[in-house]
Amino acid sequence: MRGFFSKLLAYVVLQVVAMTAWPIDVQDYLAISGPNPQATFAYGTAPSQKVEFFHPEGRGPFPVAILIHGGCWLTRYGGLAQFRMLAAALARQGVATWNIEYRRVDEAGGGYPGTYRDIAAAVDLLADKAPQLDLDLQRIVAVGHSAGAQLALWAAARARLPESSALFEPTPLHIPTVISVGGLPDLQGNASTISRSCRIDPTSLTGAPTNARPDVFADTSPAALLPDGVDTIGINGSRDTIAPPAIAQAFKALARASGDRARTSVVEGADHLDEATTTSPVWPVLDADILDALMAR
């Protein structure tokens, strides 16, 4: 029943936000910045190795949304400040948010393996801080946009990493649901799209093969880590040319064929950057899916 009312609310709100200006361009997107977080935690010494925490009002324990912004794995496209809008909107609805910054491929230490180690360290810090912050880690969802969706799916699949991997850890935090918004989840199958859309060399995300590590996708690509036991929800705008809806649908097929649960939805008229804002028709759909994922547990 909750799912029905969430979808009904999403439809009503969609009609309202559909009257605002969208799609947005890159400059409009980069101008977005939400309110300041209640706390910031460092998980390393680099400026990008930090997490912003948004705390709901009232008493917990609170469900948690892990937010991993996109930006083509590049610093020039921002991401953290823009995701503060999502973080604050969720906090107003009683959801604690863990807004992760990380080193991108054009930063010292970024790419493979540094970016993945950053995501792992940020997620592990959440587990450490949960008692202090009154968080309920039985109710947790990861939400990633674009490059951040690949990293969110990877974070949820960490239990599948081979022990030989430099990224392996024995007891990663369990993330039962990932919402991949405009994601690029298959580093092998999506390599040409990543090169075209982001103008980066995909090997910066995977490392180069070696005799000791011939399969560079086995510990980096969510598609290669299936089945991972994660429920995946893919959301795209119909006008997304950076990560077209067909990519999410292909990942859904792979996940279902492996035995995992997955579904997708397409929001008519929305573009890639609209997917990461709270003023486009994507937000009510994403918001409803986040709340449903958290409250169903």
Q: What is the CATH number of domain 2-207+217-295?
A: 3.40.50.1820
Instruction: Report domain extents, the chain.
Output: 2-207+217-295
d(CA 225, CA 248): 16
CB 92 within 8 Å of CB 34? no
Ramachandran category for residue 72: left, alpha or beta (phi over 0 → left; psi -120 to 50 → alpha): left
Compute how many other C-beta atoms are within 10 angstroms of the C-beta atom of residue 210.
8
Backbone angles phi, psi at 283, to 5 degrees: -60, -50
Q: Would you give per-residue pLDDT tens digits along the chain (297 residues)?
A: 455 444 444 434 433 334 345 678 899 999 999 999 999 999 999 999 999 999 999 999 999 999 999 999 999 999 999 999 999 999 999 999 999 999 999 999 999 999 999 999 999 999 999 999 999 999 999 999 999 999 999 999 999 999 999 999 999 999 999 999 999 999 999 999 999 999 999 999 999 999 999 999 999 999 999 999 999 999 999 999 999 999 999 999 999 999 999 999 999 999 999 999 999 999 999 999 999 999 865
User: Across the strands, what pairs with 180?
Assistant: 144, 234
Bridge partners for 143 per DSSP: 67, 179
CB 162 within 8 Å of CB 169: no
Q: What is the pTM of this model?
A: 0.91
Verify cis geometry, omega within 30 degrees of 0, for the bond prior to 63.
Answer: no
Q: Which helix (H) or strand (E) holds 288?
A: helix 282-295
Whether the Cβ atoms of residue 286 and residue 292 lie closer than 8 Å to each other = no
